[in-house]
Each structure stands twice: as structure tokens, then as C-alpha cells.
Structure 1
Amino acid sequence: MNYRHAFHAGNHADVLKHVAMLAICDALTAKPAPLFALDTHAGRGLYALDSNSAQRTGEAEGGIGRLMAEAPSDPLINRYLQAVRACRNEHGRMAYPGSPWLLAHALREDDRVAACELHPEEAAQLRSNFGRDPRVAVHERDGYAAMKALLPPRLGETRFGRGLVLIDPPYEAQLEEFDTAISALRDALGRWPQGCYALWYPIKLRRALQPFYRRAAALPAKSALVAELLVRPDDSPLNMNGSGLLVLNAPFQLDAKLRPSLQALAKVLGERQAQARLEWLKTAA
């Protein structure tokens, strides 16, 4: 696997994913029962935006850099920026939190996180970053296989009735990754039907995603919501023009809370003809 998230940390796709993920976590923690979170493609969980990798692409400048400079007045965006600032207070002014860090930040003492990373070097760094947090278990393994092994989640005699599975694959296999992800989601829903599942995906040509949308709508979940941010027109198959998050079994009113945030992100992070999309592929009966 050649993909390294360090090259892309803090870009517009990370901003979308992490704003939405924190909104989901906050909705889930509004109830007292303990939660389980599984991050299937966790990376190292913590990044330095002044590293050679990040500086080589400069993608963070058009993502978290621009957002922090303008800081639009939106509660979900403000929540996310507060988390980034908390990370920087702990790890330095150029630190950027990956999804495992944000999950650990958002969840509570009785909640548990399983963070999976297949690449040995990234997994070792992930373990170094979170090895002292008793709530976080680091697994050097394939994230899709972990969905089979770890769902439904248990800790001793405790079974977790609620939680989040975040799936953020590198899409090195291009459109074939959607087939793998849909299959994994179908199996996971059979194992843990009450879980909330969030699948991140890149957008190059949106019309190429129509089969994915149809298959996502047919999954055995109560609901399926897509939240997308296009920072430029989706007219080139060579660029990642935007990204989206498919949320299955979304928390109550997540769409209403996300809508103004997506519009603000499109305005701040987008070029001409940038747009946000929030659409139910399937609603609860």
C-alpha cells in the first residue's frame, strides 16, 4: 500500500469528514449508554502540517488553514476548530488530529475506540500516539477484516448497543473500492444493525458514482444519508474535486445540523461553482 495520509492531512476532504464525524459523536454521546467506535483505516492518528510530506502537497492550506483563518460562524465548524486547537495545545501549533485523535477527544471515559491500520510503519506510529490511552485499542490489521472480527462489539461481558464505524479507505483501487466497501457494510449491518456507519469517498466525476448511490440505498440500514462537498466542478477525472460521507443509521436531525455547515464550507473552501449536497438516499420508515 503506497498511500500515506500525511500528504493529505487537513485538506478539504479531512475538514468535511471530521466536521461530520464530530457531529455524529456528539449526537451519540447525548445519551448516557457507553459507545464503541471502530476506525477501520486509521492512519497514524496525528500529523504535523510542517512535515515534508504535508509541505510537499500544501493541501492543508486550502483546508484547515483557510478555515481557521476565516472561521465562519457555524456551531459544528466551531466545534471542529475547537478540537483542532485542543490538539495543537497538546502537540504543537502545526499539529493536525486524525480521526482516531478526534474520536478519543469526543468520546467519554466509558466509551471504547478500536483503531485499525494495516501498514506497519503507520500502525507503529498509531500505537505510539495512543498506547497510553486505555480507551483506545490499536490493531495492525485490515480494516474490513476487523469489521467481521470486532462487530458486534464486546468488552468482557459488556455489549455495546450503540456506536460508530468510520470507514476511510485510500481508494487505491479506484471504483473497485466501492464494491469492497458496500460488501463490508452489508455484512456489518447483519452483525450490528443498530450501529451508525460512515463511509468517506472521493468525488472526481459524480456521474460515475450513480451505481454506488443505488447500492447504498439498497443496504439493509434504516436510513442512508449522503453529505458532499465539491470545492470545484466535477468535470475532471484526474482531480479529487470533492468528497462525501455516506452515513447509515444517521442520528436524529443530523441532516438539519449539517446543512448550514456544508454551505459554509463550500463558501470558504470552494472555488467558483463549489457546491454542497445533502440528500437522503433512504429514510427511516
Structure 2
Amino acid sequence: MLSYRHSFHAGNFADVLKHITLIQSLEYLRNKDKPFCCIDTHAGPGKYALDGDYALKNREFDNGIAKLWQRNELPDSVAHYVSLIKRFNSSDTLTRYPGSPLIAKQLLRDKDRLCLFELHNTEIKLLTAEANKDKRINVFHADGLTSCLKLLPPFERRGLVLIDPSYEMKSDYQQVVETLIAMHKRFATGTYALWYPVIERSRNQKLERAIKACGINNVQLFELGIRADSDEHGMTASGMIVINPPWTLTAEMKQILPWLADVLGHNDEGFYRIQTLAGE
């Protein structure tokens, strides 16, 4: 919805998981010389000020990137993620956090493309400025869930679609499944990374059942929780559902999710899930 502003949540534990998944998936695509296309359906403004009013209101980043910022002996994929975030900060002090568009931009080669969708009237202006006439990047002021279908299949025939809606409306859970089915029909070999929050577990269980029943194969779920499921604490966990994941991703998540659950979890309540929703 147009009222949603990710600035309140930038750099939180959900961003940690989402952006590590994004980085690992793009690095896998970079391993081959052939070009790829990355599509972000809910791009946001591109970057966030962690010392700004929005981020400071709830300081969600304190339980995300801030806990990793100066920590030594990080797992390799977590260290890679933190190193990319540090590129956006001019000192050892954490004040800036890039959104998925700027993280993806750092991993593009000259031959690759990035397509960004944003509907919010203010954030599209900020996002366009961040693209800064980069010929590899196309910015669209549109609803990414419906409009990105026209880009599929990409002419590169290799790519990743990041789907990150706000879920402010309960109907979003059903819409993302319908959109995934339509996307997959157009581009069956693409990788699709769907982010989801855990606020009311029954909604997530319904989402998982719908994806299992939709007929798409090769689907993995990776979830990170910082508190036990509860109706009192807002978002207690979040996850990524990945269609056609890199073959290296599950092994990597088995290494880092237990570590992240331990480091980011509240009072030993951290947990994780790794589940195959559909086999190959």
C-alpha cells in the first residue's frame, strides 16, 4: 500500500536474511559469463538513513545489522553482506543502509541489467535519483507484482526476481502466489525469491500450503525467527521462499541460520527453519 515506508524497518533482522539471500543468489548468477537480469518488484527508495527519524523511531536495525557491524569472525556469507553495507558508510559508524536495489547494483557487471519497480510517489523520486542514469538500470513507477510480468522472460534468459511486498493487506498473501504462478509460466527457469513476515502464523501456513499445491517444483523455504510466535510482538520471524534456488544456497543457509538465530535471537528464543516445499 502507498502508506508503507520501509525506512522504519531498514536494517532489521528480516533485511539481514533477505539481503544475504539476494547476495548469494546474485553471486551464483555471476559465476557464469552469460549476462543476467535482476528484477525487484518493491524496490523502495534505494537507501536509508539509520540516523533519521524513521529508522530511529523503533531502532529495528539494533537487532539486525548493528549486531553484526563490529563483530569479528563472521561466517563467510555474513561477512560478505556486512562488507557490502560498509561501502555505504564513510566511517566505522553505522549511519546508512542500502536497500536491495543498491545492493544488487554493487553486484552487476557491465553486461547485466537491474529492473526496479516502486509505486510510492515519494520513494520513486528517490529511487530514480539513486539509479543516477546508470544504463544498466531501468526504473518503473508501477506496481511490480502486476507490471513485471511484461519483462518476463528477460532476453538474457537468466535472472532473479525479488518479491518483497509489505503484506499490509491480507490479500497480498494470495496475490503473491497467483503472481508466482504467472511469472513461472513465462520464465520457468528463473530464480524467484519471495520474502514474507511472520506476524500471524496461520497466514504463513496458508501461504506455504498454497505454494505446495500450485504445481511449481524446486522450492525451498528459509526462515529466521528472533522470538517465539506471538500475537504481542509484531513480526517475530521472517523468511524467504526461493523457487529454483542456487544449488549452493541450502548448504549455505544450514551454516548461517543457526548462527544468526543465536546472535540475533531475544533471550535464547531465536530459531530457524529450512524446509523443502517442493522437490525438483
Mark yes or no: TM-score above 0.5. Answer: yes
3-state DSSP class of the match of 2:234? Answer: coil
Cα distance in structure 1, aligned partners of 2:29 and 2:260: 23
CA contact (8 A) 2:42 2:164 kept: yes
CA contact (8 A) 2:41 2:163 kept: yes
Deviation at 1:237, TM superposition (A): 5.9
3-state DSSP class of the match of 1:87? Answer: coil
Q: Which residue of 1 aligns with 2:74?
A: 73
Change (3 A) 1:47 1:71: farther
Aligned pair partner of 2:276 in 269, 273, 280? 280
CA contact (8 A) 2:224 2:237 kept: yes
Q: Which residue of 2 aligns with 1:106?
A: 107
Cα distance in structure 1, aligned partners of 2:214 and 2:77: 28
- Structure 2 residue 206 is the aligned partner of structure 1 residue 211: yes
Deviations 1:156-197 (A, max 9, x none): xxx1111100000011103x2110000000000001111100
Deviation at 1:216, TM superposition (A): 1.2
CA contact (8 A) 1:147 1:184 kept: no
Deviation at 1:121, TM superposition (A): 0.6
Alignment of 1:115-194 (within 5 A): 115-153=116-154, 159-174=155-170, 176-194=171-189
Q: Which residue of 2 aligns with 1:156?
A: none
CA contact (8 A) 2:50 2:94 kept: no
Deviation at 1:261, TM superposition (A): 1.1
Deviation at 1:147, TM superposition (A): 2.2
3-state DSSP class of the match of 1:70? Answer: coil
Q: Which residue of 1 aligns with 2:8?
A: 7
Deviation at 1:276, TM superposition (A): 1.0
Q: For 1:249, give the aligned amino acid.
A: N
Misfit runs of 4+, over 4 Å: none
Q: Which residue of 2 aligns with 1:259?
A: 254
Q: For 1:123, give the aligned amino acid.
A: I
Mean alpha-carbon deviation: is it higher for 8-17 or for 256-265? 256-265
CA contact (8 A) 2:46 2:100 kept: yes
3-state DSSP class of the match of 1:69? Answer: coil
Q: What are structure 2's unaligned runs of at least 5 residues?
A: none
Change (3 A) 1:281 1:58: same
CA contact (8 A) 2:173 2:203 kept: no
3-state DSSP class of the match of 2:88? Answer: helix
CA contact (8 A) 1:76 1:258 kept: no
Q: What are structure 1's unaligned runs of at least 5 residues?
A: 154-158
Q: Which residue of 2 aligns with 1:21?
A: 22
Question: RMSD of the TM alignment (CA)?
Answer: 1.6
Deviation at 1:95, TM superposition (A): 1.1
Cα distance in structure 2, aligned partners of 1:106 and 1:226: 24
Q: Give TM-score scaled by structure 1 length.
A: 0.93
CA contact (8 A) 1:44 1:98 kept: yes
Cα distance in structure 1, aligned partners of 2:256 and 2:94: 25
Deviation at 1:132, TM superposition (A): 2.6
Alignment size in residue pairs: 277
Cα distance in structure 2, aligned partners of 1:237 and 1:168: 23
